[in-house]
Amino acid sequence: MDTVRDVLDPTCPSQVALGILGNKWTMLIIFALSSGVHRFSELRDRIAIITPKVLTQTLRALERDGLVDRTVHPVVPPKVEYRLTDLGRSLLESITAVRAWAEAHADEVLEARDRAELAQD
């Protein structure tokens, strides 16, 4: 029998998976890696607003959670590459819809924020 999941139940393990997407940088890294294998510096350049420290922390978390694969090549200097795992690629369809919504409605959200700020003054 399949286990019924309810993300609104605080004891449901699906909250762990949902929490991964709640990280500010997760979707940006997944999108950056969707085009293939990338080195750290390439990811840093593609996601220009992320600091190296935060990129490192987030990549480690995504690797721990099985979404990103890290390969270290035994050369000098070391060559490290990152790619999405099958599990990471399974997110692309869902988060692409979120990306499309964000890009289509960004102006509306910013306008609503401006109106809210003006109303507080």
* pLDDT higher than 80, residue 44: yes
Q: What are the tens digits of pLDDT across the range 5-31?
A: 888 988 898 888 888 988 989 999 999
Tokens standing for residue 102: 């964000």
Task: Answer with the residue of higher pLDDT: 78 or 1.
Answer: 78
CATH number of 14-120: 1.10.10.10
Query: Quick one: average pLDDT of 48-55?
Result: 96
Sequence ranges of the domains in the chain:
14-120
- Look at residue 121 in the predicted model and tell me its pLDDT: 77
CB 17 within 8 A of CB 6: no
- pLDDT, residue 11, reads 87
**Using CA of residue 21, residue 25, residue 27, residue 29, what is the dihedral sign?**
negative
Q: What rounded mean pLDDT belongs to the chain?
A: 93
Encode 22-58 in three state secondary structure: HCCCHHHHHHHHCCCCEEHHHHHHHCCCCCHHHHHHH
Query: In the structure, what pLDDT confidence band is assigned to residue 1 with cuts at 50, 70 and 90?
Result: low
> Token pair 């390969």 is at which residue?
71
Q: 75-84 pLDDT, tens per residue?
A: 998 899 999 9
* pTM of the complete model: 0.86
Q: State the greatest distance between any 2 C-alpha atoms of the chain, in Å, as a whole number.
A: 59
What is the rounded distance in angstroms from the CA atom of residue 68 to the CA atom of residue 63?
5
Specify the pLDDT at position 93.
Answer: 92
